[in-house]
């Protein structure tokens, strides 16, 4: 072994220390310059805002609403992030937002989609709601709200009028197809009071003779209880398998999804996301309550957020077959932060990943079997009026159940004549599937 002198060792140590100090200095300078640039940008932003404020207060005609100005500034800042999922909520809108995650909602009780003309087409009038009491019907087209034309509002702003504080009123101008043979449209006005109504997120029935069908339009605090009722009712019918329909699912709460989907998730599957620091965080892990029945899952581009995580977990755990088209690619995690004045910020803090580490955000979840509905069938499905035997995706899902060992009574592709005794078990509520994606629904 070659020896080195003490002087050489000291010199090497000094050089190492010098290199370390230099690298540390360069890193510190880089961080310093970055912070200075950041501070300068912020100062520039505040200066510009101050300039606008001074000119408005000096020259603008009319009274200024300070609260509205503050809310608009905050909303504009968040909009500048370029993240469609990030939102600023005023104190009033945050209060309404909190009501949206409970069993009872406050509003008129309508679900709508945007039609080709930019108006609001009613796809469901919820039972025991003020809209039902006022006489509104599925198929009505709302063209004005409180005297404001819907086409001059953003659709999201128009939808916000459907909810509001209990006891407040709203007036809709509606176009409705006439009962007369001339096919003319009637113009009607409806004024109604916003109040509490019960919203249902799970719908179920029996299809193809003995197949359980469960559609979930969102995951909220009451979904677990509704799902349990659906599962127990279908078990009593002795169904041979389950088709879980996540099409037109607007997303909702991840916690609610995990609790409501325990019958379908393989044990150990998880909701995991990558945060802003690049770390993988495991948010939830499923238990072992999985049903011992063949499972197929319907997905498409209206399958959002938590529903995408559920679909990925079922696929990765080989617990069922995914049928349809690629999901929305909206698998991001939002955190709601209440601010000091009662307003709130909804901020994206992570992107969900599948078991292989692939991001669900922007890419979605690909089905095992790709089946596309026609434009017409997709629209009919959105309105909850597509018959099971006309639903190509649903029938492909039933075929997948057969291949997994399910003894299906009515095999897809065969003709069946239904008698009253053979009719499907009634659903727990209304139509087959009556929700739209989160950008096209309102309650």
Fold of the domain spanning 108-198: Pdz3 Domain (2.30.42)
List C-alpha distances in Å: 68 to 91, 155, 228: 11, 20, 44
Confidence of residue 366 (pLDDT cuts 50, 70, 90): very high
* Between residues 242 and 114, the one the model is more confident about: 242
Asked whether the whole model's pTM tops 0.85, one would answer: no
The pLDDT mean for the chain works out to 83
pLDDT at 142 over 60: yes
Contact (Cβ atoms closer than 8 angstroms) between residue 131 and residue 391: no
Segment 357-366 mean pLDDT: 94
Tell me the residue length of the chain: 443
- Contact criterion met (CB below 8 Å) for 202 and 242: no
Domains 108-198 and 202-422 share a fold: no
Question: Per-residue confidence at 221, pLDDT binned at 50, 70, 90?
Answer: confident
Q: What is the pLDDT averaged over residues 377-400? A: 93
- Read off the pLDDT of residues 74-88 as tens digits, 9 standing for 90 and up: 988 888 888 878 889
Q: What is the pLDDT of residue 2?
A: 54
User: Which residues, 6 or more positions from 160, have their beta carbon under 8 angstroms from its beta carbon?
Assistant: 93, 442
- 370 has which bridge partners? 324
Q: What is the pLDDT of residue 435?
A: 35
Amino acid 96: pLDDT: 67
Asked if 441 and 249 touch (Cβ cutoff 8 Å), the reply is no
pLDDT tens digit sequence for 146-177: 999 999 887 777 887 888 778 889 999 999 98
Q: Return the domain boundaries, the chain.
A: 108-198, 202-422
Confidence of residue 197 (pLDDT cuts 50, 70, 90): confident
Mean pLDDT of 65-75: 87
Whole-angstrom Cα Rg for the chain: 28
* Higher-pLDDT residue of 424, 87: 87
Higher pLDDT among residues 397 and 256, named by residue: 397
Instruction: With a cut of 50, say whether residue 430 has pLDDT above it.
Output: no
- Residue 49: predicted pLDDT: 84
What pLDDT is stored for residue 222 in this prediction?
Answer: 86
Please tell me the predicted confidence (pLDDT) of residue 437.
38
Architecture of domain 202-422: Alpha-Beta Complex (3.90)
User: Binning pLDDT at 50, 70 and 90, where does residue 436 land?
Assistant: very low
Q: How far apart are CA 317 and CA 126, in angstroms?
A: 36
Of 437, 218, 161, which Cα lies nearest the Cα of 226?
Answer: 218
């Amino acid at each position: 072994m070659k020896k080195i002198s003490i002087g050489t060792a000291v010199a090497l140590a000094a050089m190492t220390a010098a290199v370390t100090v230099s690298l540390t200095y360069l890193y510190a300078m880089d961080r310093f310059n970055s912070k200075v640039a950041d501070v300068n940008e912020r100062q520039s932003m505040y200066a510009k805002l101050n300039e606008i404020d001074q000119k408005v207060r000096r020259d603008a005609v009319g009274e200024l609403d300070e609260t509205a100005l503050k809310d608009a500034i905050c909303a504009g800042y968040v909009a500048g992030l370029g993240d469609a999922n990030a939102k600023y909520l005023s104190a009033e809108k945050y209060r309404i937002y909190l009501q949206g995650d409970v069993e009872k909602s406050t509003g008129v009780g309508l679900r709508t989609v945007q039609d080709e003309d930019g108006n609001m087409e009613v796809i469901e009038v919820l039972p025991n709601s003020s809209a039902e009491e006022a006489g509104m019907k599925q198929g009505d087209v709302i063209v004005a709200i409180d005297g404001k034309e819907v086409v001059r509002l953003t659709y999201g702003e128009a939808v916000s009028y459907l909810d509001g504080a209990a006891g407040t009123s709203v007036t809709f101008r509606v176009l409705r197809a006439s009962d007369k043979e001339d096919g003319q449209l009637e113009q009607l006005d409806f004024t109604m009071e916003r109040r509490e109504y019960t919203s249902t997120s799970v719908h179920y029935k029996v299809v193809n003779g003995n197949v359980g069908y469960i559609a979930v339009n969102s995951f909220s605090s009451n979904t677990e209880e509704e799902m349990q009722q659906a599962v127990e009712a279908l078990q009593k019918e002795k169904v041979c398998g389950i088709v879980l329909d996540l099409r037109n699912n607007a997303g909702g709460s991840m916690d609610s999804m995990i609790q409501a989907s325990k019958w379908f998730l393989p044990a150990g599957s998880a909701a995991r996301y990558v945060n802003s620091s690049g770390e993988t965080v495991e948010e939830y892990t499923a238990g072992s309550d999985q049903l011992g029945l063949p499972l197929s899952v319907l997905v498409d581009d209206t399958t959002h957020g938590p529903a995408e995580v559920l679909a990925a977990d079922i696929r990765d755990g080989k617990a069922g077959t995914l049928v349809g088209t690629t999901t929305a690619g909206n698998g991001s995690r939002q955190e709601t932060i209440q601010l000091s004045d009662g307003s709130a910020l909804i901020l994206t803090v992570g992107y969900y990943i599948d078991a292989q580490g692939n991001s669900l955000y922007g890419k979605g979840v690909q089905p095992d079997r790709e089946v596309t509905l026609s434009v017409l069938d997709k629209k009919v499905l959105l309105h909850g009026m597509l018959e099971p035997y006309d639903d190509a995706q649903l029938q492909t899902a039933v075929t997948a159940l057969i291949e997994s060992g399910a003894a299906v009574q009515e095999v897809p592709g065969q003709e069946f004549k239904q008698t009253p005794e053979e009719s499907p078990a009634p659903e727990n509520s209304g139509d087959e599937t009556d929700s739209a994606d989160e950008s096209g629904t309102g309650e």
